[in-house]
């Protein structure tokens, strides 16, 4: 018998010190690079998008991969790549932590649209407020000092 799963994660993390260092000019290249990392981990990318100071990844998670290893692989490899390309001059690295939020199949299309529309969404809500809202919506206890 095979192993079956349906685990959807929206993973959110910011640049170090929330610096505006993801250049819009080269973000598509970054997305393609991260997509390759995700494929190498046997996961499926549903949507990726970013703002200059943070990124959203909506993907499933293969049963052979732990969430922490998956996020670490994405952050480490993309950080090295971003620095090597020279396209992200202001990029110093990713923040230490991350947010990972689970969703059901019924919510999948809604979250795909949410991630797709990040640029419009952030005209009304900054990253700090968005991240705090996601934590609260998912009932995750947090210490405000780690959000600043």
Return the pLDDT at 116. Answer: 95
Q: What are the residue boundaries of the structural domains of the chain, listed by start?
A: 1-105
Helix runs in the chain, H state only? 27-40, 67-85, 108-116, 118-121, 127-137
Calculate ∠ Cα 45-97-81, nearest 5°.
Answer: 55
Largest distance between two CA atoms of the chain = 49
Burial 116-128 (b: 16+ CB within 10 A, else e): bebeebbeeeebe
Asked if residues 99 and 135 have their Cβ atoms less than 8 Å apart, the reply is yes
pLDDT tens, the chain, 148 aa long: 777 778 899 999 999 999 999 999 999 999 999 999 999 999 999 999 999 999 999 999 999 999 999 999 999 999 999 999 999 999 999 999 999 999 999 999 999 999 999 989 888 999 989 999 999 999 998 888 777 6
Q: Write down the pTM of the prediction.
A: 0.93
Question: What is the rounded CA–CA span in Å between residue 95 and residue 118?
Answer: 19
Architecture of domain 1-105: 2-Layer Sandwich (3.30)
């Amino acid at each position: 018998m095979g192993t079956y799963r349906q685990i959807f994660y929206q993973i959110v993390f910011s640049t170090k010190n929330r610096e505006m260092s993801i250049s819009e000019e080269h973000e598509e290249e970054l997305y393609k690079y991260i997509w390759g990392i995700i494929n190498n981990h046997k996961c499926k990318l549903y949507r990726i998008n970013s703002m200059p100071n943070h990124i959203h990844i909506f993907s499933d998670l293969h049963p052979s991969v732990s969430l922490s290893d998956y996020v670490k692989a994405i952050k480490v490899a993309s950080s090295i790549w971003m620095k090597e390309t020279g396209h992200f001059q202001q990029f110093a690295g990713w923040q230490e932590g991350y947010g990972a939020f689970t969703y059901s199949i019924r919510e999948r299309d809604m979250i795909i649209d949410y991630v797709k529309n990040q640029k419009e969404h952030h005209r009304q809500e900054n990253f700090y407020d968005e991240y705090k809202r996601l934590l609260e919506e998912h009932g995750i206890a947090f210490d405000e000092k780690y959000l600043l």
